[in-house]
Structure 1
Amino acid sequence: MRGNHKMKVLVTGATGNVGQYAVEALLSLDETVVAASTRTNKLKDMFGDRVEAVELDFEKPHTYESALKDVDRIFLMRPPHLGKPENLYAFLEAAKNHSIKLISFLSLMGVEKNTIPPHHKIEKKIEELGIPFAHIRPGFFMQNISGIHATEIKEKDEIFVPAGRSKTSFIDAADIGLAIATVLHDSEQHRNTAYTITGPEALDYYQIAEMLSQVTGRKIQYKKPSFLRYRHYYIKKRGLDPSYVNVTVALYFMTRLGTAQAVTDEFFKLTGRKPRTFMAFAKDHINDFDAQA
């Protein structure tokens, strides 16, 4: 084990939903973490001196070498604004030259059968380059609801998501971070694997609205907008990047085809823990849904 600890783990997107939990879980396993972001000052605010903070921008190849120095394992996260898989290829080529023992890529549930999302080609590229991999393919994040979709919940008591009546096996990003840390910490055991991890149950957004109503004491309604209304609202009213919104539309389109409803026990097999329920998550994140907050 000692040789393992000399080398470092690079966490890309370390300020993000999953990245921050991956960092914390790796630190609790006594790993040396290089936390990377385009915003290094934010890294300092979040982690202080518990990590080595580095700038990494996939679109600026001159940032690669310092980020990869003395690193032998990588958590790779595709920044949401980079819609093309090719945006990550130059970094992957650079990583290949660093004899990486394992790269854990944050992918997407069902992506092995679905060529539309950029994650599919990124997985394939890692495999083609011959870098040992452990793809983590989670269901939708609970944090999507407490994050990007919380605005309408707080301001209008509405969930505004074009998911129809589909069910989703939501998973807490903290659980995803733990799964990632687990595979990177034990890199030999998890070489060339893929894990589909979900929460404990599949819920539709009517059920989510009901749980949020219980937790907040307000009547939260699921509005079930069309794709066009959702897209128009998120681009025009919320001012979000059209390419980001288009990716989310594609994901909700797939969700309506039933791609997000499977429940697996792979998180438990990996970590020995049961994944968090949405109800427990909502209670812990009550402030994110509070109209006053």
Structure 2
Amino acid sequence: MDDYSPKPLRAEDIERSILNQLAERVVEAASERRSTWARWNLYAEAARQTMGWRFAATEDREAVVGMITDAAEQRSTRLTPPELAVSPAEFRRADETSVFRPRNSARYSSIALLDAEERLLTASHATDAPVVSAATLERAEHARRNHGIVLGEDQRAALHSIATSARSLDVLIGPAGAELFPFVTDGTDIESHFLDLAYLVRKYPEINRDALEALRTDARAMVRDESVKVMINARNEEANRQRNRGEEVPSAAEVMLSAQVEHDGAPDRFTHGKKWKWLKRFNALVQEQHGVNRPADVVDACLAVTALRVPAPS
């Protein structure tokens, strides 16, 4: 029987145009995850983009990932200023970089992100947005009081400030206080808390508990591979930092295996709801199978953690 398996790749087999396309995707992926990044972030993303490629040798894989990283670095906007002075020879590495600046410590961003930041700043200075009159706010507050909802003074002040500011963009930052439900989550992001089974039972009373648990499991399985990749990526980045410090690091196979074992041992904790859309997949399944479509983040009193609302004894 003929073997139709593809021939393992060597670094010289990859055309420059392919490397450039991948570099664009690497920068795009990095900008989706963070507002600034370093070379190791680009390297990890390049490794993820080529994870399915079969190479003739480890050296070929490392060479290709390195070339993609170099191209992605060139397509990023450098934020770290250059050296203002040349260090004496005894304080320079073999590659002529200064020993006073950590290797690959430069931070990058993108023009698209910087433009978005500028638009936000511009919107925060614009004062031509609609406003709500004080009389309207007073009537609304009176109506809330009739339903047993009373705002604290700080909450009233914040509401009046935003409603009457005429700014296109306002930012409100405040501590947890009266009538807020502080909570913690066993997951790695806030969305995982909204996939807690007890919360879902309250949110979807028309769907029985077993059906909700089945939907949670199905949605989680859809994003399992992506979640494991996130864990592997984070651990590879840490391994690179350890390697730079001269420390012993686990092999790539050990990193991959440990991530899979840890994830599958506690999937509710390690599934990345925000980035890999566990919550979004769950909501889609609910709508598809039960015809129910509700906001993803409805707050409910069952989310409250009593221990966080009771002051610790002094």
TM-score range, shorter chain: under 0.3
More RCO (CA 8 Å, sep 6+): 1
> In proportion to residue count, which structure has more strand?
1
TM-score, normalised on structure 1? 0.20
Larger Rg: 2
**Structure with the bigger percentage of helix:** 2
